[in-house]
Structure 1
Amino acid sequence: MPEPTVPQVFGSNANQTDLILEIKKADLATVGLTPNANNTAESMFVALLLLNRQHLNTDNQANDSDIQITIQDGPESLVERNGTTYRQRLFYIYLDTPDSPATLDPNQF
């Protein structure tokens, strides 16, 4: 099977040119983001993570060996910071590349 497509990973309305990756906030709404002009960078990052794990997961990788990145849920825990208790959620992101001692290169994926 071919590499995952931009719409599969970044949402059905995502596209790219040689200079721009365009991701529509409406596509991030499918994982819970409420699109508005003042979304925080962190809220959009989390929405992208949640959207990415819908396609980039071990179930899909088992059927498509071209998927080289997988995202898995990890454990949750409670942590305290500055007197406030937070629920901390861990995600595992696996980057599979052919065995090579070279540094991590985004162009390998």
Structure 2
Amino acid sequence: MIKKKVLTQEQIAEKLDYLRKQRDGLIVGDYRNYLYNLYMYLKERCSETEDGSCNPYPWQMLVALGRDDLHKSYLGYTYCDDLEALGYIKMQGYGKDKKIFIIKNIDF
């Protein structure tokens, strides 16, 4: 069984505050851009299916993020784990049976 990342409400608030500060240029870094761009990519992919889910390959997610380190394909799901812990997406299943659903619109 895979253990999902669980954050407290306080941790979620702190992380969202950090991401909003990155968006507003108060903190320098690419983390927010990676999460935002991945969310937008997943949202587009999910809108193309009847059940509103998608299951892109990890390397497809990295290409969508503009990353050239495709040997680090695990990063795609690491960012998905973060989006899920923050409540923006939901992942069900494992491997080729994994389904990703958009839960709410992004606000950071």
Structure ranking higher in strand proportion: 1
TM-score normalised to structure 1 length: 0.31
* Higher RCO structure (Cα 8 Å, ≥6 apart): 2
- TM-score normalized by structure 2? 0.32
Q: Say which structure is richer in helix.
A: 2
